[in-house]
C-alpha cells in the first residue's frame, strides 16, 4: 500500500465506517453507500431507487449536473458524499504530496495572481517594473501551480482561478484540489462591495468541504486592496462576517489580515504568519528571538529572511512593530543591493544604522548568515553605538531553521 493510499484511508475513516483492517481501496469502494456516516436509510433508499447507487464506487460516478428533480436528498450533503467517494476512487492514482501545499483562493479579480507576483519578485527589480508586470497579468485559467523553497523545504502553491466555472469545478471535484492542504489563503477585494455576499458564500462552501473531508489547513483571510480611502466601518463589518463563518468550524485555526500591493510588507507579513503557524519549531525560535532581545537590551526586534518573510519577532507595541518591520524590509533590500554592487561582495561590518524620526530612535539592521542564506535582524534602540554580537545567536538558531517544518 503506497503512502497516498494510507493517507486517504486514514482521512476517510472519519466519514466512512471503514473495516478495521482495510487492505485495499477496492475493498473500501465496494462498501455499501450507507457506510458513509451521515447517510441514513432513507438516503440510501433514494440513492438506490433514483440513481441506482448501491456502493461507494457507484457514488463516485454520479454526475451532479444530471440529477432528477425529485431526488429527495439535500444537494450539499450529496456533494460531500460524492467528494468522499471520488477521493477513494482516485486514491491509487493520486501522487502523495511530499512537501507543503498552499492554496490561494478567492473570486476573480481579488488580486491573487498580483500578490503572488509580488512574493515571487521581491526584492528583485523596481516597483515600476513590478507594476508593469502586475498590470499585464491576465485572469488565471483553472489552477496555476508552482513550487518554491522556504527553509530548505519545498512548497507547492496553487493559484486557483476565481471565475465561477472554475469555482464550481473545485467544489464538484474537491479530491483534485483540497486534499492534503496545509494553508489556504482566501483573498477578498474589499473595494468590490457588490460581490461581498458571493465571496462569503464561496468561502463557506470551501470550509464546509474541507471540514467534511477531515482536512484542517490553516485559514488566512486577506482583506486585499486596502487603500486609505476604504472605510474602517466597512472593514470591521466584513471581518465580523468572516469570523461568524469561521466560528462554525472550531477545529480550524485562522488569522485575518489587511493587505495592499502598495504596502508589500502587509503581504509578506500575512504569508509569513501562515508559514510560521505550520512550523514545528515556531515557539522555540520565538523564544530565541526574545532571549536575544533581552540580552542586547531592546524591546522590539524582528528577524526576516532575504526574501522578506518574517521568521520571528518580539514587540509589545503593535504600531511600533509595524514601523520596525517595514524598515527592516526596506533596509534588507538596500543591503542586498549594496552586496551585489560592492567589489568585495559583502558589507564590511554586516551592520547599518540610521536615525528614525520623530522620536529620534536609532534603527539598526544586521545581516546574519545562516545555512548559506542571509537573514536580517531589525531593532530600534536609543544607543546608536550599540555593539551587537550575533555569533551565539546564529549558532542557537541554526538547528531550528534547518528543521523548520520537520
Report pLDDT digits (tens) over 269-303.
898 888 888 876 777 788 888 888 888 888 889 99
pLDDT digits (tens, 9 = 90+) for 119-169: 777 644 433 443 344 344 455 667 888 887 766 667 888 999 999 999 998
φ/ψ of residue 327, rounded to 5: -60, -40
- 123 is written with which cell numbers? 526584492
pLDDT at 96 over 90: no
Which pLDDT score, from 0 to 100, does residue 10 have?
64
CA of 118: how far to CAs of 28, 71, 167, 178, 190, in Å?
Answer: 45, 48, 24, 25, 19
Question: 82 and 60 in contact (C-beta within 8 Å)?
Answer: yes
pLDDT digits (tens, 9 = 90+) for 257-270: 999 988 888 888 89
Q: What is the CA radius of gyration of the chain?
A: 25
Q: How would you class 65 by CB atoms within 10 Å of its CB: exposed for 0-12, middle for 13-18, buried for 19 or more?
A: exposed
Interatomic CA distance for residues 265 and 262, integer angstroms? 9
CA of 322: how far to CAs of 11, 260, 314, in Å?
Answer: 40, 14, 11
Interatomic CA distance for residues 366 and 268, integer angstroms? 20
Which pLDDT score, from 0 to 100, does residue 250 have?
94
- 156 is written with which cell numbers? 507547492
358: preceding bond cis by omega (within 30 degrees): yes
pLDDT digits (tens, 9 = 90+) for 362-379: 888 888 887 778 888 888
Amino acid at each position: 500500500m503506497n503512502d497516498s493510499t494510507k493517507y486517504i484511508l486514514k482521512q476517510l475513516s472519519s466519514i466512512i465506517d471503514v473495516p478495521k483492517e482495510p487492505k485495499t481501496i477496492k475493498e473500501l469502494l465496494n462498501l455499501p453507500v450507507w457506510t458513509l456516516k451521515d447517510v441514513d436509510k432513507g438516503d440510501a433508499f433514494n440513492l438506490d431507487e433514483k440513481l441506482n447507487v448501491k456502493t461507494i464506487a457507484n457514488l463516485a460516478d454520479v454526475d451532479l449536473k444530471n440529477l432528477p428533480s425529485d431526488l429527495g436528498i439535500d444537494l450539499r450533503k450529496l456533494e460531500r458524499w460524492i467528494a468522499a467517494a471520488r477521493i477513494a476512487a482516485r486514491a491509487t492514482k493520486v501522487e502523495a504530496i511530499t512537501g507543503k501545499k498552499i492554496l490561494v483562493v478567492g473570486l476573480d479579480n481579488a488580486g491573487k495572481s498580483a500578490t503572488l507576483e509580488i512574493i515571487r519578485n521581491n526584492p528583485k527589480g523596481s516597483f515600476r517594473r513590478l507594476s508593469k508586470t502586475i498590470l499585464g497579468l491576465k485572469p488565471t485559467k483553472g489552477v496555476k501551480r508552482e513550487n518554491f523553497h522556504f527553509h530548505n523545504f519545498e512548497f507547492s502553491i496553487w493559484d486557483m482561478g476565481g471565475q465561477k466555472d472554475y469555482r464550481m469545478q473545485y467544489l464538484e471535484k474537491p479530491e483534485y484540489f483540497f486534499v492534503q492542504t496545509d494553508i489556504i489563503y482566501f483573498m477578498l477585494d474589499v473595494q468590490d462591495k457588490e460581490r461581498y455576499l458571493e465571496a462569503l458564500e464561496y468561502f463557506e462552501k470551501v470550509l464546509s468541504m474541507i471540514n467534511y473531508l477531515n482536512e484542517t489547513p490553516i485559514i488566512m483571510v486577506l482583506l486585499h486592496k486596502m487603500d486609505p480611502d476604504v472605510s474602517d466601518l466597512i472593514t470591521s463589518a466584513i471581518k465580523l462576517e468572516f469570523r461568524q463563518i469561521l466560528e462554525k468550524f472550531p477545529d480550524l485555526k485562522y488569522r485575518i489580515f489587511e493587505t495592499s500591493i502598495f504596502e508589500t510588507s502587509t503581504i509578506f507579513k500575512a504569508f509569513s504568519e501562515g508559514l510560521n503557524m505550520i512550523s514545528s519549531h515556531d515557539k522555540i525560535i520565538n523564544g530565541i528571538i526574545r532571549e536575544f532581545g533581552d540580552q542586547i537590551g531592546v524591546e522590539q526586534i524582528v528577524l526576516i529572511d532575504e526574501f522578506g518573510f518574517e521568521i520571528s519577532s518580539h514587540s509589545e507595541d503593535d504600531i511600533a512593530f509595524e514601523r520596525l518591520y517595514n524598515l527592516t524590509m526596506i533596509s534588507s533590500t538596500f543591503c542586498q543591493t549594496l552586496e551585489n554592487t560592492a567589489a568585495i561582495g559583502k558589507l564590511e561590518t554586516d551592520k547599518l544604522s540610521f536615525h528614525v524620526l520623530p522620536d529620534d530612535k536609532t534603527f539598526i539592521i544586521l545581516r546574519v548568515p545562516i545555512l548559506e542564506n542571509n537573514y536580517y535582524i531589525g531593532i530600534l534602540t536609543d544607543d546608536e553605538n550599540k555593539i551587537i554580537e550575533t555569533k551565539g545567536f546564529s549558532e542557537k538558531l541554526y538547528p531550528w531553521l534547518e528543521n523548520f517544518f520537520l
